[in-house]
Amino acid sequence: MAPVLTDVNSTSTTPGPTGTGPDGGDPTVDPNRVGSAPVDGRASVAYAEYGDPDGAPAVFLHGTPGSRRLAALYDGEARASGVRLLSIDRPGYGRSPPWPGRSLSAAGEFVAAVLDEAGVDRAGLIAFSGGGPQALAAAATVGDRVDEVDVIGGAVPVELAEGVATPVRALRWLATRAPRLCGGLLRGQSWVAARAPPSVVLSQYSDDGASGCTPRERTVVAEDFVEAFDGGAHGAVTELAATASQWDVSVDAVERPVRLWHGTADTNVPIAGAERLGERIRNGTVERVAGADHLGTLVAVRSAVLGRQRR
């Protein structure tokens, strides 16, 4: 079906991710309080909870690279909106050990495992950037456990992509041809990020190094990047390689409603690819976020995304 195109204003007045005021305030969630969900025949996956513990459940899937900590950006609004966020460290990121040979089709396994551990039958999915393919794979493989899907600035299949950022192309090439070198480069970036101001990390996602983020939000984004490599670079290298060629899960198998939120100024993942993806997904809708870049879209659509997930 043709996607429904909706323009969304990129201005956000949502309070900070974990605080009591617009500057972000003090955290209300300890990101070090991490649960563990066992997966049959595999190592466990780690996850943390944000938002309203009694709210409508939604699984949060970070970018590539990333970690459970990114959901802190949505914590305050999730509490206000009545949404319970289950934020996963995908295998090989943060506190989750790697799964050798993991492909996109495995996404449904760890999403279902976290839902089982959290006592949830069905949940929505919220995914950012490189988490987009994971969300679509989960919706395709364990659709009976998934409600609605919100993908924000999501990566698209290579055959639909247009104008992929040079650093992304380079990392995918390295991940498939020289994975150890790719991992070393990523670990080096993490080492620098842990010692540099947050603007160094934000520059990878934002044209102006800020995207309208508060100081606390900038810190969350930087901490998320560093945490991604807490156990090594295996998760990022695995996912970069998995998305460098044709996905092993077809988006044609996705039957759940999918909203693709995408900034018109996103240079990491240009919007043309998202529009093509929206045409491929049976119940796909493209929500255009006017003037927003990659990270700016994630911040701008908080209220709208969580409002949809709450219903």
Domain residues of the chain, as ranges?
4-310
Q: Regarding the domain with residue range 4-310, which homologous superfamily does it belong to in the CATH classification?
A: Alpha/Beta hydrolase fold, catalytic domain (3.40.50.1820)
HSE-up of residue 90 (Cα within 13 Å, Cβ side): 34
pLDDT, residue 13, reads 34
Residue among 171, 131, 132, 146 at smallest CA distance from 277? 132
How far CA 51 is from CA of 31, 59, 89, 182, in Å, comes to 12, 11, 17, 35
pLDDT, residue 41, reads 74
Type and span of the H or E element at 296: helix 294-300
pLDDT, residue 206, reads 77
pLDDT, residue 284, reads 98
Residues in the chain predicted with pLDDT less than 50, given as ranges, are 1-6, 9-27
Q: For the whole model, what pTM was predicted?
A: 0.90
pLDDT, residue 29, reads 60
Distance of CA 138 to the CA centre of its chain: 13
* CA–CA gap between residue 23 and residue 117 (Å, rounded): 34
pLDDT, residue 33, reads 75
183, 98 Cβ separation under 8 angstroms: no
